[in-house]
Amino acid sequence: MKISMLASIVTITAGTMSAVMAQEARLIHIPSEDAPIFAEAEWDLPAPKIDGPVYARTFIAEGEAAATAPDGASHYKAQEYNFPMGALRVLKWESGPVIHQITFETQVFMLKGSATVRVSGENVTINEGDAAFLPSGILRNDNPDGDTIVLTYIVSNNTDAPKAKVVRGDGLPVMAIAQWMDGDDPTTATDHDAILKAPDGAAKFTVKRYSGDGNSFRHAVLEAGGRTTPATNGRDILIYINKGHMKRTEDGVEYVVKAGDAIREEDGKSGYWEILEDSEFIATDMPFEPSQPRYNLQRSPNTVTGAGYRQE
């Protein structure tokens, strides 16, 4: 199966990938300056005159074509981070309406602002700090109050038939954690008193977990000066650094990351974090099953003209 969007093409491809995977397998860190940024514009298309259900659609233009979009169009910047097992786009609006057609995005995290989107067939408003799993329709806010920043993901999940869901950030439990090495022994504390007694050099952070059906977001807030204990993941994890400066050591290799970077914690590799200054990140899983589609972004050679969607 191959599904593609002309103009800013996203493809979902199943089948043999050995050559591509061999080239990309060790892609771990994408600094912000290496993640391409594209000027985008979207505007509503008239409803077609046909019998049967009619769904709202938008026209998408990119680059030079975006600059000639009609009055009332939504203009934003899209920054792309493409990993072997999934992809992230950071969409930023500085003014005007927010309009974005959900195509192959499987998860959305509202980093700043608010917008409506369809989830399980209903229009819902997602606010700053909210998440949506398997959204659909058009992400929209005709009169935003300030900037809007949305993290949109193309990742798989661990459920055969996942259900769409909105998870509100307000009211979610926040887990406080401290980690340190006691000699050669890794130690983790979640009790308030134990955290207060943690030694100098302990990593102290909080985690808020957004549980979807087959995947989740984790919003971590980390205090400067500590180091986490080594851990080995059972899946790839995609992390977007939205604040701060940290160092990741994984499989003996060091990666210094800062706000605006994305990094992948690789399946089966041991690693730890050093928190160089107060930091925050958003993490989600990129599970991979060879029999399932591989999710990532691939762009069309024609990047200046929007032309709707097609399925092949």
Q: Is the Cβ–Cβ distance between 89 and 270 less than 8 Å?
A: no
Read off the pLDDT of each residue in 279-299 and give the average, rounded to a whole number: 72
Cα separation values, 292 from 11, 164, 295, Å: 14, 19, 9
Read off the pLDDT of each residue in 152-165 and give the average, rounded to a whole number: 92
Confidence at 9, pLDDT banded by 50, 70, 90:
very low
Provide the CATH topology of domain 2-168+290-311.
Jelly Rolls (2.60.120)
User: Among 234, 207, 228, 220, which residue's Cα sits nearest to residue 279?
Assistant: 220
Which residue would you say has higher pLDDT here, 51 or 128? 128
Q: Is the pLDDT of residue 145 over 80?
A: yes
Identical fold at 2-168+290-311 and 174-286? yes
Q: Is the pLDDT of residue 19 over 70?
A: no
User: Among 218, 226, 237, which residue's Cα sits nearest to residue 288?
Assistant: 237
Confidence at 311, pLDDT banded by 50, 70, 90:
very low
Read off the pLDDT of each residue in 251-266 and give the average, rounded to a whole number: 97
CATH number of 174-286: 2.60.120.10
Supply the DSSP string of 153-175, one letter for each residue: EE---S-SS---EEE-STT--EE
Q: Is the pLDDT of residue 170 over 50?
A: yes
pLDDT at residue 289, rounded to an integer: 58
3-class secondary-structure state, position 119: strand
Domain boundaries, the chain: 2-168+290-311, 174-286
Supply the DSSP string of 226-283, one letter for each residue: -BPPPEE-SSEEEEEEEEEEEEEEETTEEEEEETT-EEEEPTT-EEEEEEEEEEEEEE
| Claim: this prediction has a pTM higher than 0.95 | no
The whole-angstrom separation of Cα 259 and Cα 31 is 9
Which residue would you say has higher pLDDT here, 11 or 135? 135
pLDDT at residue 64, rounded to an integer: 92
Q: Is the pLDDT of residue 11 over 90?
A: no
The whole-angstrom separation of Cα 145 and Cα 47 is 28
pLDDT at residue 287, rounded to an integer: 86
Q: Which of 19-23, 140-144, 170-174, 194-198 has the lowest mean pLDDT?
A: 19-23
User: Among 209, 281, 270, which residue's Cα sits nearest to residue 245?
Assistant: 281
Confidence at 158, pLDDT banded by 50, 70, 90:
confident
Read off the pLDDT of each residue in 114-130 and give the average, rounded to a whole number: 97
What letters, b where the CB count within 10 A reaches 16 and e where it falls short, cover 184-220?
Answer: eeeeebeeeeeeeebeeebbbbeebebebebbbbbbb
Q: Which of 157-161, 203-207, 209-213, 303-307 has the lowest mean pLDDT?
A: 303-307
DSSP state of 202: B
Helix count (H) and strand count (E) of the chain? 3, 26
Q: Is the pLDDT of residue 296 over 80?
A: no
Count other Cβ atoms within 10 Å, centred on residue 130.
20
